[in-house]
Structure 1
Amino acid sequence: MTKRLDRNILVLVVFHFFEYWYFYLVAIASLVVLHYTQSMLPQMAKELGDTLISNQSSSKLVLPFIGFAVLIIIFRTLSRLFFFYPARVQQQNLRMEIFEVLELAHPDKYAQYNDGDLYQRIINDINRIRGLVGFGLLQAVNVLIAGIIIVPKVIDFNASFLIAFLPLILSIFIFMALVYFVHPYIKKDMELTSIVQNFIIETYDAKASIKNHHAENSFLEIFDQHSERQLSRFFKSHLARMFGGPLIRLGFGLSLLGGAYIVWQQDLGATSLIFFSSFLFLVLEPLMYMSWIWIALSAGIAGLNRVQELWRDINKKEDLSWAIGQKPTHPNFKFWDQQIELNIVKNSMTVLVGETGCGKSYSLKKIADILSANDFTYSFISQEPYLYNDSIRDNIFLGQKITDQKKALAIEFLELFGLDVLSENTNEILDIEVGENGKKLSGGQAKRVSLIRSIVSDVEYIIWDDPFSSVDFLLEKKILEKILQHPILCKKTFIFSSHRLSTVNYCDYLILLDKRQGVAEAGDVKTLLNSESKAREFFKKQMV
C-alpha cells in the first residue's frame, strides 16, 4: 500500500483533497457565500455615497452593512476552519507514518541524523507541509472563487476599471518571481537551522562533559560560525518577504490612482471611486495571498523533500540475501575480518560480553537482520532508545492494540522498574507526557520506559543492547528475577549485550567476543564462570 510520504507534493495534495472532500465541500461553499456577500458591498457603498451627496436619509441603508458584516465573519470563519482542520489531521498522519517506521527501524538507518535534524524534519518540516496543504489550498480556491465572482461585477459596471488593477497584479507577480529566486536558500536555511538546534540540544545534554576552558571556547566558536551561516541563509531566504510587503503596497497605491484617473477622465462621479476602491480592497486579500501561496509552496516542497530523505533512508532495504535461510539459533555473519557463528538457545537468556568496541552492538544488529530476513518477530532496544513527545502509554504501546493483559503487564513493570515514583496513582503514570526524546524523564527512566515497550510487545525475540547500564544492582536483580519467573516472558528468547557480571549471572548462556578471535569462548554461564575460563578471567580483570 502506498504511503502518504511516498507521494510527490502534487499527488499528496490531490489525494488529501479527495480524502477529506466533505470538509472541502463545506469550505468551498462557505467561500462562495463569503465572496458573493462581499461583492455586493461596493455597489451598496456607492449607493450610500450617492444618498449622502443628495442629502437624503441614509439610516436604512446603513443597517444592511451590519447584517453583511455578521455573514462575512461567520462564513470567513467556516471556510478557514474546514480548510485548516483536515490539514492538521494530515500533519498528524504524516508524523504517525514516520514514527511507526522509526520505531521498527534499526538506529543505524537514521544514525546520520542528529537530534536537532530529526526534530527539524519531524516537527518543523511537517509543519511546513501542513501550511501548504491548509493555507495553500485555502488561498488557491480563494483566488479562483474571488475571480469568478468579482471580475464579472467589475466588467458590468465599467470594464475600464480592469486596466487599473494591472499595477497590483504586476506587483504580485514580481513578488512571486522574488520568492522563486530565493527558493534554493529556503532548504539551506532549514538544514542550518537543524545544525544550530542540535548544538543547543547538545549544550544541555553534554555541558557536564565540557571539562576545560579551551574545549568550551572551541565549542562556542563552532556554534558562532554555524549561527552566522544560518542567519545569513535566513536573511537570503526571507528577501522576498522583506521586499514583497512594500512592493504590493506600491502596486495597490498605483491601482488606486489608476482608478481615480479613470473616474476623473470619464466623469463617473466620486461615488464610482468608492465602488472601485471597495473592489480593490476585496481583491487585495486573495491576490496578496496568491503570492504567499508561492511561499507556502516553496517551504512545503522543501520540507517534504527533507522529510522524504529521512523516510527513504529508514525504509531503505538492506541487502539481506546473506541472511535468508539462516536459523536464528545459529546466526552466521561477517565479524571484522572473519566469519563467525553464534549459538543462541531458544526460550533462554544469552548475553554477549567483551571489551568496549569489540563488536557487541554490531553483532546484535546482525542477529536482528537475520530475524528480519526470515520473518521472525523481535524487539530491539538500543543503548540510547528514542522516546516520542507523547504520553508514557503511547510510547509503550506504540503501534500495538492495548489489551487488559498488556496494560496490566505494563503497570506491573512500571512499578518494578521504579517508575511508580512519577505519580502516586499508578494508572496516572501512563498519562504522563515524556517530552521530545523523553526530556521530561531522567536518562535512566527513559531507558526503562523503552524496555517496558519491548516487554509488552508480541514478539518471539527480545534484543537489548546494554539494558541495565543506568539501573542499580538491586533493581537489576528484581527485573531479571521477574522476567525469569513470568509465565509469558520466560518463554521468550532474550539476547543481551552487557559489561556487568551481575547481568551475566542471571543469563543462561554467555558468548565472549574478541576482535581478533571472533568468538573467544561460548557456553553455559555457570560452567564458564566456575572454571578457569577466558570469561572468568575477563571479569576478574574488570573487577581489578
Structure 2
Amino acid sequence: MKELKYLNKYFLKYRWRLLLGVFITIVATVFKLVVPMKVGDSVTVVKQYLNGEVTDLAYVKHELLINILLLLGAALLSAFFTFMMRQTFIVVSRYVEYDLKNEIFQHYERLSLGFYKQNRTGDLMNRISEDVSKVRMYVGPALMYSITTITLFIVIISYMFYTAPILTWYAIAPLPILSIAIYKLSVIINQRSTIVQQYLSKLTTFTQESFSGIAVIKAYGTEESINANFEELAEGSKVKNIDLAKVQALFFPLMMLLIGVSNILVIYIGGSRYINGQIAEFGTIVEFLIYVNMLTWPVAVVGWVTSMVQRAEASQERINEFLKTEPAIKNLVTESTPIDGEIEFNNLTFTYPDTGITALKNVSFLVKPGETLAIVGNTGSGKSTILELIGRLYDVKAGMLNIDQTSIRNLNLENLRDSIGYVPQDAFLFSDSIKNNIRFGKEEATEEEVIYAAKNAAVHKNIIGFKKGYDTILGERGLTLSGGQKQRVSIARAIIKDPQILLFDDCLSAVDTETEEEILQNLFKISKDKTTIIVSHRISSVKNANKIIVLDEGKIIQKGSHEELVNIEGYYKELYSKQLLEKEM
C-alpha cells in the first residue's frame, strides 16, 4: 500500500470526522453484540422451563418480553448508528474525491506543453475520473468496512473467549486459512487490476479521438475499420476483466465454506461440551452460532476490501505517476513584475526537448512597446516557435530572451501571461456560448465590451445573424462556426483582454482579403501603445508592420520594412510578386 500513503494528508485533514466515525462504529458494534446475548438468554430460559428447572410461566413470559424489548431496542440503535457511520465515512470519501480531482486538474494545468505531446487526452481523462473513483472506494467503503470488521472481531471474539474459550478456538480456527488465501489472491488481483485500468485508458483514448475526428472518419468512409479497431480493444478489455472476475469470484465461495466449517465445529464441539457439563447454559451454543454468522459478513468484507485496496493501489500508482511529474516551466518569481512589452531576442537558439528538432538558430531582434513586428517564412521555419517562447511555453537554453530588459525567467509567470493576448493558428473555442467564448479573455467583461471586441474582429454581423445571437451555443471545438468565424471570435477574445502584448499566429488565413483589411485597420488603432507580433503567409497582413523578419529553417534571412524588402532580391520580394500576380488574376 505504499502508493496509497499519498492519501495520508487527506486523512489528516478530515481526522476529526474520521475519529467520530470510529467512535460511532464502536457504539454500533456494541449494540450488535446485545442481540445474540439476549437470544441466548431467551433460549436458556425456555430450556430451563422445559426441563422443569423453572416452573413459573409468568416469570418466563416476563423474561422473554424483557429480552424481546431489549433485542428490538438494540437492533434499532445499532441500525441508527450504522446509518450515521455510513454517513460519516462515505461523506469523507466524497470530500477526498473532490480534493484529489481538483489537485490532479490543477497539476495538469501546471504541466508544460511537452507533457501533453507525450500523453493522450483519453488517458489523462481516465486517471482523473475512473482512477480517482477507485481510490474513493478505498477512502470510503474499504476504510469503513475495515474499521467495522476490526471492531466487530475485537468485541465479539473477546466476549466469546470470556464465555467459552475452548469453543472459541474451534470457532475461529478456519480464519487463518482464509487470511492466507486472501493474501495469495490479492497479489493476483493487484496485477490484473492494473492491466484492466490500462485497457480502460486505451478504450477512453480511442473513443475520445474517434468522436473528436468523427467528421474525418465519415468523410473517408472508414466507419467499419474504426469499429473493427474498437471491437478489438473492447475484446481485450473484456478478456482482462473476466480474468479479474474469475479471481474475485473465489472469495465468496471460500468464505462460505470456512464459515460453514465454523458452524459445524460450534455445533459439534459445543454440543459435546454441553452434554459433558463443560458448558453450563444451552443458550451459549446458540449465541456462538449467531456470533459466527455475524462474522460471515466481516470475513466476506475482508476479501472485498482487499480487492478494493488492490484496485485503489493500482489506480493511485497511475495517479502518482503524473502527480510526481514536475512542470518543465516553473514560476521562479513570487513578487509582481509589471510588463510594459519590450521584447528582445539575442542570439537565441531553441531545440524542442521532445523531438530534438532545432527550430530557431541564432535569432536576434528587438520590438519596443507600440511597434508591430511581422514574421514571414515557409512552413516549419520557426515562426510559431517565437510566439511560444514569448509566452514561455518552453524555456530558452541557448541565447537570451528578455522582456523589458529582464530575462523572461526572472519575470512572474502569471504577470507575463496575463499581459499577453494570444491568437493561435488553430483557433480553439469551447462548447459554450459565443459571448462566453469571447469573455474567456476577460471574465468580468460587460456586454458592451463583448460587442466592441466582436466589431473590431469583424465578426459582430455574423453573430447577430444567428437566431440566438451572442447566446448561440457552439458545438465541440466551435464546430457551429466556419473557419474564418472561429478565427475572428478568437481575435475578439484577445482584443477584449486589452493586453500589453498581442501575438497573432497566422490567424487571418481563413478570412477573405476585404475582412482581413478591416480587421487589420482596427488592430492598428487598438495596438498603438501595445507590442504586436503578427505571423502570416500573406504580405497584405504584414505590409504595415514597423519591422518584418523573414525566417528560413530557423534563421533570419531578411529583415526590414515592407518598402525596403520589396526592393531587395530574396524570399520576401518573390512572395510579394507571386501574391500580387494571384490577386490580379
> In the alignment, what sits opposite 2:164?
158
Unpaired runs of 5+ residues, structure 2, are 50-56, 333-341, 351-357, 402-407, 455-459
Q: How many residues align?
A: 518
Contact kept, 8 Å, 2:343 with 2:367, in 1: the verdict is yes
Normalising by structure 2, what TM-score?
Answer: 0.72
> In the alignment, what sits opposite 1:17?
11
Q: What is the rounded CA distance, in whole Å, between the counterparts of 2:478 and 2:262 in structure 1?
A: 54
Selected match of 1:354 from 377, 380, 398: 377
Contact kept, 8 Å, 2:182 with 2:306, in 1: the verdict is no
| Greater Cα radius of gyration, structure 1 or 2 | 2
Q: C-alpha offsets along residues 204-240 of structure 1, whole Å, 9 cap, x if unaligned? A: 2223213687855543443333333333332333333
Contact kept, 8 Å, 2:506 with 2:536, in 1: the verdict is yes
Q: C-alpha offsets along residues 133-163 of structure 1, whole Å, 9 cap, x if unaligned? A: 2333323333332233222111122122243
Q: What is the rounded CA distance, in whole Å, between the counterparts of 1:450 and 1:170 in structure 2?
A: 66
Contact kept, 8 Å, 1:528 with 1:536, in 2: the verdict is yes
Q: What is the rounded CA distance, in whole Å, between the counterparts of 1:452 and 1:205 in structure 2?
A: 25
Using a 3 Å threshold, how does the CA distance of structure 1 residues 78 and 520 change in structure 2: closer, same or farther? Answer: farther
- Alignment of 1:235 with 2:227, yes or no, is no
Unpaired runs of 5+ residues, structure 1, are 1-6, 321-326
**Which amino acid counterpart does residue 354 of structure 1 have in structure 2?**
G
Q: C-alpha offsets along residues 23-62 of structure 1, whole Å, 9 cap, x if unaligned? A: 1122111111111111222102222334555474344433
Contact kept, 8 Å, 1:129 with 1:300, in 2: the verdict is yes
For the aligned residue pairs, the C-alpha RMSD in angstroms reads: 4.6
The more displaced of 41-50 and 407-416 is: 407-416
The more displaced of 88-97 and 18-27 is: 88-97
Contact kept, 8 Å, 2:110 with 2:327, in 1: the verdict is no
Q: What is the rounded CA distance, in whole Å, between the counterparts of 1:465 and 1:306 in structure 2?
A: 36
> In the alignment, what sits opposite 2:114?
108
Q: Secondary structure at the match of 1:340?
A: strand
Using a 3 Å threshold, how does the CA distance of structure 1 residues 534 and 386 change in structure 2: closer, same or farther? Answer: closer
Q: What is the rounded CA distance, in whole Å, between the counterparts of 1:131 and 1:440 in structure 2?
A: 38
Q: What is the rounded CA distance, in whole Å, between the counterparts of 1:365 and 1:391 in structure 2?
A: 28
Q: What is the rounded CA distance, in whole Å, between the counterparts of 1:152 and 1:294 in structure 2?
A: 24
* TM-fit CA distance, 1:317: 6.0
Q: C-alpha offsets along residues 459-499 of structure 1, whole Å, 9 cap, x if unaligned? A: 7656565556788889988887777666xx87554545455
Q: What is the rounded CA distance, in whole Å, between the counterparts of 2:169 and 2:512 in structure 1?
A: 79
Q: What is the rounded CA distance, in whole Å, between the counterparts of 1:128 and 1:289 in structure 2?
A: 16
* TM-fit CA distance, 1:117: 0.8
The more displaced of 22-31 and 359-368 is: 359-368
> In the alignment, what sits opposite 1:175?
182
Using a 3 Å threshold, how does the CA distance of structure 1 residues 537 and 283 change in structure 2: closer, same or farther? Answer: farther
> In the alignment, what sits opposite 2:259?
252
Selected match of 2:444 from 407, 418, 426: 407
Using a 3 Å threshold, how does the CA distance of structure 1 residues 521 and 416 change in structure 2: closer, same or farther? Answer: same
> In the alignment, what sits opposite 2:294?
282
Contact kept, 8 Å, 1:192 with 1:230, in 2: the verdict is yes
Q: Secondary structure at the match of 2:174?
A: helix
Normalising by structure 1, what TM-score?
Answer: 0.76
Selected match of 2:551 from 513, 520, 537: 513
The more displaced of 92-101 and 207-216 is: 207-216
Q: C-alpha offsets along residues 396-450 of structure 1, whole Å, 9 cap, x if unaligned? A: 999x9xxxx8512698338855789999798x99xx9x99x87998798999998
**Which amino acid counterpart does residue 239 of structure 2 have in structure 1?**
S
> In the alignment, what sits opposite 1:187?
194
Spell out the pairing of 1:141-540 with structure 2 (5 A cutoff). 141-159=147-165, 160-210=167-217, 215-267=222-274, 271-313=283-325, 315-316=327-328, 328-330=343-345, 332-334=348-350, 335-336=358-359, 338-346=361-369, 348=371, 350-367=373-390, 368=392, 369-370=395-396, 373-376=409-412, 377-378=416-417, 407-408=444-445, 412-413=449-450, 416=453, 461=501, 463=503, 465=505, 493-495=531-533, 497-498=535-536, 504=542, 510-515=548-553, 518-524=555-561, 534-535=571-572, 537-538=574-575
Contact kept, 8 Å, 2:363 with 2:555, in 1: the verdict is yes
Q: Secondary structure at the match of 1:407?
A: coil
The more displaced of 335-344 and 298-307 is: 335-344
**Which amino acid counterpart does residue 229 of structure 1 have in structure 2?**
G
Using a 3 Å threshold, how does the CA distance of structure 1 residues 420 and 138 change in structure 2: closer, same or farther? Answer: farther
Q: What is the rounded CA distance, in whole Å, between the counterparts of 2:83 and 2:482 in structure 1?
A: 45
**Which amino acid counterpart does residue 330 of structure 1 have in structure 2?**
F
Q: What is the rounded CA distance, in whole Å, between the counterparts of 1:230 and 1:16 in structure 2?
A: 32
Using a 3 Å threshold, how does the CA distance of structure 1 residues 116 and 46 change in structure 2: closer, same or farther? Answer: same
Q: Secondary structure at the match of 1:208?
A: helix
Q: Secondary structure at the match of 2:379?
A: coil
